[in-house]
Amino acid sequence: MTNVDIATPLSTSGRFIVDAQGRRVRLAGVNWYGASEDFGLPAGLDRTHRRTLARNIARHGFNCVRFPFSLWMTEQTTPVPGQYLAANRDLIGSTPMQVYDACVRALTDAGLIVIPNCHLLSFGWCCSDNDGNGLWYNEAWPAGKFTAVWQEITARYKSNGLVAAMDVKNEPRQATVGGRVLTPTWGTGDDTDLAAIYTTVGNLIHEINPHLLIICEGLKYAGDLTGVASHPVRLERADKVVYSMHDYPWFHPKGQSQASYIEEMTKAGGYLLDEGAGGLAPLWIGEFGNDTGSLANFGLDPTSQVGSADNGVWWNNIKAWITEADMDWCWWALNPTHAKGINPGTGQLLYDWGDREPYGLLTSDWRSVGNPVVMKMLKSMIRPRTGPGVDTAPLAGR
């Protein structure tokens, strides 16, 4: 189903996300990042107008945008530096939150679903074990602030039906808090229990807007949803829970066979889609990506470039899994260039504004497709094959 067909609100039916008419919606989109970083500002607004960008995303057939933010961003009252808004001069003088609002409006005006994601507590580039942002709280950001910001975000976009889902916490991982190294858990009932915070935040969000999907990322950088089998997230609105995994080449051994990869991913979270068990819940690959600069990274060209062969193996594995399982996904990233991002734990500058983003889909001016072959591959993965209301007739016969 394409973006022009989606009737919100969305909900779940077994392993599928469905629209207001009960028809399958396969979330297939892109991540547009930067707002969670040092200026609280999405990258690219110095190079293209936000409405032009939104129309281009929709034109390529994507139906959603995962849109990261930080808790820090939501509190800033100082206008963002004007030079980073050169192609959006009407926004000069705006705070980070006002810019974020304007981008949300532009995306939804183009018919795109927007999925806000709390990427970080502080500002910077995510993610690492030493950035101090692996949980939903740390010394600077209490848990109460996390829940309060989610309530504020929900209220802010309540009237916009295409802000249809909330991705609660990005890539849960270890964090040092108060001198203790803490590791997120699932279903333990203690102060590191991720399933518990998803339940708390999800129910608080639904008190304000009962229509929203609540996206719950797994442990270990969103790579592990094994705990869901014994401790599913149970919201008062049971038909609103979607689980999310992330996946990249470095999550796996080099040269992994396709059968081994699919077995690993099925155990880690793909089992949620098992239709033999009724389909426990939808699964969204909220981030996956690869260097788009060489087709060797996609197993299509020979090269001497280090890592390309391994990346090509990984790409062929995940493409086969996503296709076979007919699951939802979101590419990292739309961005051809970076925002400025430090490690929020160490203060080390990792990327400066305008640095090349090797996983990006666009040319450096943010206007055209960087690698048409990669874009064509992604577009071939958009149309759902199964689910309520899906036309299963082959395209050639239609």
Residue 326 confidence (pLDDT) above 70:
yes
d(CA 384, CA 356): 32
Q: What is the pLDDT of residue 368?
A: 98
Residue 71, SS3?
Answer: helix
Using CA atoms, how far apart are residues 302 and 295, in angstroms rounded to an integer? 8
pLDDT digits (tens, 9 = 90+) for 342-351: 999 999 999 9
Q: Is the pTM of this model over 0.75?
A: yes
Distance separating alpha carbons of residues 69 and 34, to the nearest angstrom: 8
What pLDDT, on a 0 to 100 scale, did the predictor assign at position 305? 67
Give per-residue pLDDT as tens, 245-259. 999 999 999 999 999
- 78's CB contacts (< 8 A; 6+ apart) are 95
Cα–Cα distance, 149 to 136 (Å, whole number): 11
Q: Which of 46, 55, 6 is nearest to 354 (CA)?
A: 46
Q: How sure is the predictor about 265, in pLDDT bands with cuts at 50, 70 and 90?
A: very high
CA end-to-end distance (rounded Å), the chain: 15
pLDDT in tens, 91-121: 999 999 999 999 999 999 999 999 999 999 9
Per residue in 13-36, pLDDT (tens digit) is 999 999 999 999 999 999 999 999
**Which of 330, 33, 49 lies closest to 165 in space, CA to CA?**
330
What is the Cβ-side half-sphere exposure of residue 234, based on CA atoms within 13 angstroms? 5
By the 8 A CB rule, do 141 and 121 touch? yes
Tokens of residue 65, six digits:
């945008």
What gap in Å lies between CA 228 and CA 225, rounded to an integer? 6
In the predicted structure, residue 297 carries a pLDDT above the cut 60: yes
Q: What is the helix (H) or strand (E) element at residue 25, kind and residue range?
A: none
- Give yes or no for residue 10 having a pLDDT over 90: yes
Residue whose structure tokens are 């690698």: 371
List of residues 6+ apart from 4 with CB closer than 8 A: 111
Secondary structure of residue 191 in the 3-state scheme: coil
Q: Is 144 exposed, middle or buried (0-12, 13-18, 19+ CB in 10 A)?
A: exposed
Please give the pLDDT value at position 3. Answer: 47
Taking CA 361 as the corner, what is the angle to CA 26 and CA 45, rounded to the nearest 5 degrees? 100
